[in-house]
Structure formats: C-alpha cells, structure tokens
Structure 1
C-alpha cells in the first residue's frame, strides 16, 4: 500500500472523502424521500394515535422507534452499497437506492390487520403483536425472494406480477388519500395540484427550493393562515416529546404468530409483490449505470423488515421506485445519510411535533402521487393489450376497501353489517355478499385473477388451467373468499366447483388449440 495514501477508501487515485458522497441533487432527493417517508409516519400517527386512540406509549414508545431503528439500518446499508459500487467501478456518481417503509403495506397493515384486530379485541398491544408477527414473517418472504424471484418472473407473466401492487397503490394510497385531501380542500387541494404538475415538470418551480419542500410549505402556510393548525397543537406535541429508545420485542412477535393465520392471504401476495418491486428497482438502476447486486439487495430488504419487527415496527421496509429520477437530479449516496437525521429525531418524539406543524391532509398529497407513480410504472411496463390485467386485479382490492370503510363507519355506532342480517341487504338489491367474497383474501385472489387473465391473453390455456386449479385449491382451504382458513368451508364449495370447471374448460381449449396447430 502507498504510505502517502492516507484515505482508506481510495482506488486507482480516486478518493472517496465524506464530501464526495454529496451533491446538490442529494438535497432534492432528501426532501423527496423525506416527504414520502414522513407521509407514512403521519398516517400511522393519525390512524393509531388520533383515530383509534391507541396508547401513546405504544405508538410513540414502540412503533415509531422500531420504524426508526430498521430504517436507520437500511439507510446505512444502501449508503454503503453505493459507496462500495463507486470504489469497485472507480467513480463518484453512484446514486444510492431509495429506501423506507413500504407505502402500500402501511395502509394494508393498518386497515386490514392492526385496526380490525384492535376493534375485535379492544387490546391495542395484541393488535400490535399481530402486526409485528406479520412484518416479521413478511421479512422472510422478502429474503426468499432473493432466491426465487427470477424463477417466478420467468414462469409467471410479467403483466400479472405487479398488477395487484398497482391496484393496491391506486385504491389504498391514491383513492384513500384523495378523500382525505378533499375533506380539507382549503389547505390540501393546492398542494395536490402542485404535485400533479411535478409529473411532467421535472425542474424546481422556484430555484434552489425542492418542489417537495415547496408543496409542504404551501400546505402548511394555508393551514396556519386558515387556523387549521396553530400554537395549541404544537404545544401539545411539545409536551409529548421525550426519549423513546427502541427495545427488543421477540416475545411479542411469537405471541402475535398465534393469530397470524387469517392474514397470510394478505401478507404473502403483498410481500411477493414487494420483492418483485425491489427486483424491478434494481433492474431500473442498472439501466442508468448503477448495477447493484440483485440478490444481496433483496436479502437486505428482508433483513431490515425483520430488524424493524424485532424493535417494535409492524411495517415492512422496501426499496422504492425513483432511483432513475434521483439519478437525473444528480443525487449520489449522501441523501441516505441525511435521512438518518429525521429518523433519529423519532427517538425524541419529533414526529408528533412535525405532524402538528404540517397537517395530515397535506402529507397525504405525497402518498397519492406515490400510488399514481407506482401504477403508472406498472402500466408503462406492460404491452398495451395487457391493461385488462390491472383492471381485473382492481376489483377485489376495491371490494376490500369498501368493506373496510363500511366497517369503520358502523364501528362508530357500535354496530356491524352482520348485526343487520345479510338477508336484508339481499332483499334491497345490495350485493353485500359479493363484496365480502371479493374482499376476503383480496390480495391473493387479485394476484391469481391477474395471472389467469394474463395467460388467457397469451392464449396459454394450459397454464390458465393450472391457475384455475390453484384458485380451487385456495378456495378449498378458505385462503380466498373466507375470513379465516378452514378445510372445505361450506360457503366456498361453490367457488371450488366453479374454479375446477374453469380449469377443465381451459384444459379442453388447450387440447383443442394444440390439435389445430398444423404439423
């Protein structure tokens, strides 16, 4: 080694000092990813702390520190990956992969797992334990993705792989956010349309001010001028600041595992889609010159989810779309180090303070645009004649959202749909049974319907038959169309029969099509 070279991180004369990881683009990337991350933190606080009135000790003292612990680890990992790639390829312009809590998972984990369990049991800590177990198991699915993603991608149609992620993004992120935004139009509609403008306007509206920061500023200013936000909310948030250090919750994870079975039909399909998103993000980064190791990235994605769960977070982490955009802006890897600062602030309760300054409805603007961006990405990657795959996959997710909304409304009246009797809805011409059939196991049925439709569009009737037979198997154990697993549930026999008939019919078409092919 050259004794004159005092920098241990140098190669072929190229030195990597601390400043080399930063450029002006890192500031823009920081505000963009920060707005995305904080929007999800704001939703978690809004739903669990203010909406469901869960204990502050749980939300501020366990969940948020767990998110921070897993996310800080992820920031360090992806910063280091970019640093290593720069040394390996003798260049300084490597852009780190953006990373954080998964947007789709925040909403589905909240409204399909944590909140329903809490309302059924009245035990916030038990609901949290089920969420922890879901995140913990989901992390292992992500790790498995590092070994099975390519075979899955090779076997299953590209059109089907991410369609339910696009559907979930449109419904749970975009549509759900849209309703929240229009509940406070005075403060949130202007930021919304500013965000829409950024879909085509890729420069800063005002020089040296990132667009994401300007959108937050516009919404916050409107809120303070209109009296929606004020000093009273800030003072209350200040009173809740303190030191909230993360702890290990291994016992709580195992307690939650006892009740995780009904939610596997949500966890498994979503986590499959999650590791496929990571795979596509890595492939996208490679197209602009940053070739990260695919398997290592997917495994580390799962590890950060597991670490998050161990330290109290029920929400899985993931690599985000957007690397190519931050690459265009000139970002390197420094923005990942900058993100450690707001995550560290979560150990002191600063998230609540920030939520008091920036209204929840303004934050939802970023989640809406994230949902649209994900759906656009999936749509643009598909051949134009495969759009039906996304449309069909929307229906179970929409049914799931509607039933969740109905449950939430009736919950405030200490009632439920079943207390009125489904027969009354049938007599009134309301297809409430259809909503329940579609909503139970929605992510699994959405995924399988998209696979079946994609095979049909490809005229691959043999694989379409296989997909239909698999739907019959899933129905036979209550994985879809039922709220819990059981062997041959009486109410699902009709679905098992129908899917078997569909499979047989597809197999007949396969044989017929094969016989018509000239030799």
Structure 2
C-alpha cells in the first residue's frame, strides 16, 4: 500500500534498516553474555547448571523486559509526535557492573567460603546468591533515582553529558575494536570498509543480478565470518564443538527470592561496591538519554530510568547477577537507520539464545571479529556527536570531558601489561613500589589510577566546570568544584587502594583528602574570579 502523503507519518514496528541495527546491538549483547559465561565458569568456577540454568534465563528475562518496553515507548512517542523516524533506546547488560560484581563481590564471597571449609559447589552457590543481592541493590538505586535524575539533566550542560560518553566510546569501544581489527587485518578490515562505505559513503550493496539491497551490517557479518573461517582465525575443533552443544536444552526463568533473602547481609557488607555501581548506572543512563535527545529523539527520563531499574530487579529476582542499562550508542543506531524493530528483535532473539543454551554454539560459528566493525562505527558516531551537538565555543569542555576516560583506559592497559609480565600474583603483587619505575619514563601512573576511579563523575564535573568558565559563570564552576571535593573526601572520586592484581576504589571518610583539598582550593580561586569580575557596562 502506498502511503497517503496528506496523512501525518506514523511509526512502523519494523523497517529494513532495523536488520543492521539488530546485528550491531545483538553483537554487543552477545559479547557481554560470552564474557559472563567465561568469567562465571573460569574465574568463579560456577558449574554449567548454575550458569545455563539460572544466570542466563535471568538475563533473558531482563533483556526481554527492557527491549520490548523501549520499542513500545518509541512507537508510542512516534504516534504522539506524528513521526516515523524515532529510534528506540538501545538496552543491554551493564559492562562495568559486570566486572565489578564478579571481582569485587562474588569472588571475595567464594574465596571466603572456601577458606571457611565450604565445598566448591557450596562456595559457588553462596557467591551466586551474593551477586543476586548486589544486582538487586543496584536496581533499587536505579528505580529510586529515576524520579530525581531529570533535575540533574536540567542543570548539567550537554557538553558534559555527551563528552563523558565520548571518553568511554573513544577508548573502551573504538580503540579497543580498532586494535583488534589491526591484530587480524585479513578479517577485520573488509567488514570495516563495508560499514564505512554504507554509512558514510552512502554505497548500496545489491545481490548480484538483482535489485535487492543487502543491509551493510548483515554483509559485514557475512564477509567477516567467511574470512575468519577461510583464514584460519576460526577453525573446526570437535572438542570445542561438543562443549558448545552440550548445554543445549530449554531453560525457563524461575524466581530465586529465597536465595536473595538468605544472602541479604551482602547488601550491607558490600555497600561500598553496590552504591557506586548503582549511581554509575543511573548517571550513565541519564547521559545516554541526553545523547538520544541530541540526536533528535527526546524521551521522558523518569519512566525510562525506572524501567531500566525494573529490568535489573527482574534480573536479580530470576537468577542473574548482572544489572542492565540503557546502552551507549543511540546516535549510531539512528544514523544507521534503525528504528523500533531492532530493539524488540534483539530482546527476543538474545532471550531465545539464553533460554536454549545456544550462546556457545553461536559464538563457535560467528566470531566477534566478524561484527566488531559495527560497534567501532558506533563509537565513532558518539565521539563525533559530542562535538557537533554542542555550541562551538564549548568544544574545549568536550575535550576536557574526554580525558578521564582516556586516562582510565590507559590505567587498564598498564595493569594488563603488568599482569602479562607475571605480576599481580600472591608472589609478585601490585604495590606502590611500581610507581617510581613508571615515573622514570615520565609516566605518572598514579594520576591514571586516580582518574580511573569514578571516571564517569570526574569527566562530567571537569567538562561542566569548563563550560561554566567559558561562559564566565565562575560561581557555578566553583559549586561543581565543591561537589567534587565532597565526592573525593568520601572516596567516590579518585581515591584508590592496591590489591594483589589491581587498584580499586577506596571508600571511607577522608580517603581522598588530597584530591578534596585540591578541589577546595580550586573552588576558592573560582569564587574569587566571580567576586572580582567586572560587570559589563550597560
């Protein structure tokens, strides 16, 4: 049926470009799920029955809840605004919380249980239940904060919100996948070329001999998969294939409220991890909403953030230890042409993979390298948006907001290098003795460690202060510096402590005194600048 041009446009549940968006978002979700399977079975030594029978069904439920809601919301908003170009908010598992809850909650609980005489299966059970409680706490913070977060959005400059995301997108997404592309150039460069040609060069790829267009994302995955198998990056291994197919059966989500209640003390014992992660998820989702607004899709903050938290609560109650969140990258999906169907299709398909134990089989045949160009492109779009969607005079503030993310990524690379060199073991633990060795090469690694802790907050604060300074609102900049001093004093910013193989956040009264004092002095300078400012002549 030909649309009537006299009628206002109406949203459609599915458009052709949703296929591209689905491949990108599903790949992102698949990566997180594969990491969860690897960490829970490798680091935490969870038995397959616990991973495939409890955790993955809980993940499935949380993904279905969020993706279907955000797809429905985009359709409703499109009807109300008489638009057919709204893109649903991307949604999935929160990567930062994933690592935090594995290494800072579940692993300590497991080790304590083993040291107390528990069997490996008993220790796994206790660690899993502790992860459920941590996930539940994060969800409660997200739901509770949903009703006040919009106020933060109103008085935080757009440059601050977008540049914070850009720092993460530039490093943990774009550079990470670019390095992998050049590590496997025979596989990675062709899919990257397809994505750049499709979305920047406006090139259309057709099935030979027909007028049927092949979506760029689908073509990139097909070519990348073919090249991976042709070059030997992927190869047949009967043992690995058997391991991938062994868990395949139907698993249905079931509530685990009893386990949550039995491990309720985790909520207090690990509050120092749960609270920062809950706040991180809340602020990060808020920034992603601002990113969507800058791309032209304005969604109501309170219900979006509340459902974000509800998805996390559903995960915890039905077996998953891992919070969900509104994803970074909405401008990329929108520029790709994805609308509503890509989100809903992602929830249904990834849910089916988790409920049937077929995640391992999918990973066996389709390597991550075949689709990483899509995610790399998303990172590029996010960084570009932070410069184009703000006033030109605020560009220096965007750069300032990028720096903590770059520093945090640098700290991660440095620590990975130390672990690769054999450090980070009980026999050779990380310690302050490493610092002078870094400084001999003019690398002040302690600054990177400091910026790594609470980087999402420090990026937002530094960018906001810079915006207010550019706009000669020195008093407002001073107030943000006072806020940074308060967060630093209690350890939510910059304060870190050494562990055997890492540097982690160090919460406590006065743990970040040095940084708090520095921000306090900066606030005094800014207040002085405001006081001595000469008012413009009338």
TM-score range, shorter chain: 0.7 to 0.9
Question: 1:344 and 1:259 mapped to 2: Cα distance?
Answer: 33
Of 30-39 and 439-448, more deviation after overlay is shown by 30-39
| 1:436 matched to 2:441 | no
The equivalent of 1:301 in structure 2 is: 308
> Out of 102, 105, 108, which is 1:114 matched to?
102
Of 372-381 and 342-351, more deviation after overlay is shown by 372-381
The equivalent of 1:60 in structure 2 is: 52
Question: Per-residue displacement from partner, 1:53-109 (whole Å, max 9, x unpaired)?
Answer: 7654454344332221111122332344456567778x895866243215xx31x23
The number of equivalent residue pairs is 493
The equivalent of 1:487 in structure 2 is: 509
Question: Pairwise CA RMSD of aligned residues?
Answer: 3.7
User: Is the 2:150–2:301 contact (alpha carbons within 8 Å) kept by the matching residues of 1?
Assistant: no
Alignment of 1:382-393 (within 5 A): 382-393=390-401
The equivalent of 2:326 in structure 1 is: 318
Question: 2:393 and 2:40 mapped to 1: Cα distance?
Answer: 41
Shift of residue 350, structure 1, vs aligned partner: 1.1
The equivalent of 2:388 in structure 1 is: 380
Per the alignment, do residues 135 and 191 of structure 1 end up closer, same or farther by CA in structure 2, a change over 3 Å counting?
farther
Alignment of 1:73-92 (within 5 A): 73-81=65-73
| 1:212 matched to 2:225 | no
| 1:470 matched to 2:470 | no
Question: 1:296 and 1:399 mapped to 2: Cα distance?
Answer: 33
User: Is the 1:133–1:314 contact (alpha carbons within 8 Å) kept by the matching residues of 2?
Assistant: no
Per the alignment, do residues 391 and 243 of structure 1 end up closer, same or farther by CA in structure 2, a change over 3 Å counting?
same
User: Is the 2:101–2:322 contact (alpha carbons within 8 Å) kept by the matching residues of 1?
Assistant: no
Question: 2:127 and 2:460 mapped to 1: Cα distance?
Answer: 26
Shift of residue 50, structure 1, vs aligned partner: 6.3
User: Is the 1:262–1:484 contact (alpha carbons within 8 Å) kept by the matching residues of 2?
Assistant: no
Alignment of 1:402-413 (within 5 A): 402-411=410-419, 413=422
Shift of residue 125, structure 1, vs aligned partner: 6.7
Question: Per-residue displacement from partner, 1:2-23 (whole Å, max 9, x unpaired)?
Answer: xxxxxxxxxxxxxx9xxx8445
Question: 1:444 and 1:223 mapped to 2: Cα distance?
Answer: 40
Question: 2:137 and 2:343 mapped to 1: Cα distance?
Answer: 30
Alignment of 1:203-352 (within 5 A): 204-206=204-206, 207-232=212-237, 233-250=240-257, 251-252=259-260, 254-257=264-267, 258-262=269-273, 264-265=275-276, 267-278=278-289, 280-281=291-292, 284=295, 286=297, 295-311=302-318, 312-318=320-326, 321-322=329-330, 329=337, 333=341, 336-337=344-345, 339-352=347-360
User: Is the 1:477–1:485 contact (alpha carbons within 8 Å) kept by the matching residues of 2?
Assistant: yes
Question: 1:67 and 1:119 mapped to 2: Cα distance?
Answer: 20
Of 419-428 and 294-303, more deviation after overlay is shown by 419-428
Shift of residue 146, structure 1, vs aligned partner: 4.3
Question: 2:300 and 2:322 mapped to 1: Cα distance?
Answer: 27
Shift of residue 371, structure 1, vs aligned partner: 2.2
Per the alignment, do residues 278 and 64 of structure 1 end up closer, same or farther by CA in structure 2, a change over 3 Å counting?
farther
Per the alignment, do residues 32 and 485 of structure 1 end up closer, same or farther by CA in structure 2, a change over 3 Å counting?
closer
Question: 1:120 and 1:330 mapped to 2: Cα distance?
Answer: 42
User: Is the 1:187–1:222 contact (alpha carbons within 8 Å) kept by the matching residues of 2?
Assistant: yes
Shift of residue 274, structure 1, vs aligned partner: 1.0
Question: Per-residue displacement from partner, 1:178-216 (whole Å, max 9, x unpaired)?
Answer: 233333333223223322333314564234322111111
Question: Per-residue displacement from partner, 1:232-256 (whole Å, max 9, x unpaired)?
Answer: 2433311232333334345457454
Per the alignment, do residues 294 and 394 of structure 1 end up closer, same or farther by CA in structure 2, a change over 3 Å counting?
closer
The equivalent of 1:99 in structure 2 is: 90
The equivalent of 1:188 in structure 2 is: 188
User: Is the 1:441–1:480 contact (alpha carbons within 8 Å) kept by the matching residues of 2?
Assistant: yes
Shift of residue 455, structure 1, vs aligned partner: 1.4
Any idea what SS the aligned residue of 2:472 has? coil
TM-score by length of 1: 0.81
The equivalent of 1:371 in structure 2 is: 379
User: Is the 2:139–2:312 contact (alpha carbons within 8 Å) kept by the matching residues of 1?
Assistant: yes
Question: 1:196 and 1:328 mapped to 2: Cα distance?
Answer: 11
Any idea what SS the aligned residue of 1:510 has? helix
Return 5+ residue gaps in structure 1 as ranges: 1-15
Per the alignment, do residues 330 and 170 of structure 1 end up closer, same or farther by CA in structure 2, a change over 3 Å counting?
closer
Per the alignment, do residues 332 and 80 of structure 1 end up closer, same or farther by CA in structure 2, a change over 3 Å counting?
closer
Question: 2:125 and 2:183 mapped to 1: Cα distance?
Answer: 30
User: Is the 1:308–1:315 contact (alpha carbons within 8 Å) kept by the matching residues of 2?
Assistant: yes
Per the alignment, do residues 205 and 422 of structure 1 end up closer, same or farther by CA in structure 2, a change over 3 Å counting?
same
Any idea what SS the aligned residue of 2:537 has? coil
Question: 2:80 and 2:400 mapped to 1: Cα distance?
Answer: 45
| 1:71 matched to 2:36 | no
User: Is the 2:19–2:338 contact (alpha carbons within 8 Å) kept by the matching residues of 1?
Assistant: no
The equivalent of 1:399 in structure 2 is: 407
Return 5+ residue gaps in structure 2 as ranges: 1-9, 112-123, 207-211, 496-504
Alignment of 1:424-463 (within 5 A): 424-426=437-439, 429-463=442-476
Question: Per-residue displacement from partner, 1:427-464 (whole Å, max 9, x unpaired)?
Answer: 66542322222222322222222221221112110011
Question: Per-residue displacement from partner, 1:298-344 (whole Å, max 9, x unpaired)?
Answer: 32233223222333141323266548966985855486257413422
User: Is the 2:478–2:522 contact (alpha carbons within 8 Å) kept by the matching residues of 1?
Assistant: yes
User: Is the 1:30–1:339 contact (alpha carbons within 8 Å) kept by the matching residues of 2?
Assistant: no
User: Is the 1:162–1:378 contact (alpha carbons within 8 Å) kept by the matching residues of 2?
Assistant: yes
User: Is the 1:440–1:480 contact (alpha carbons within 8 Å) kept by the matching residues of 2?
Assistant: yes
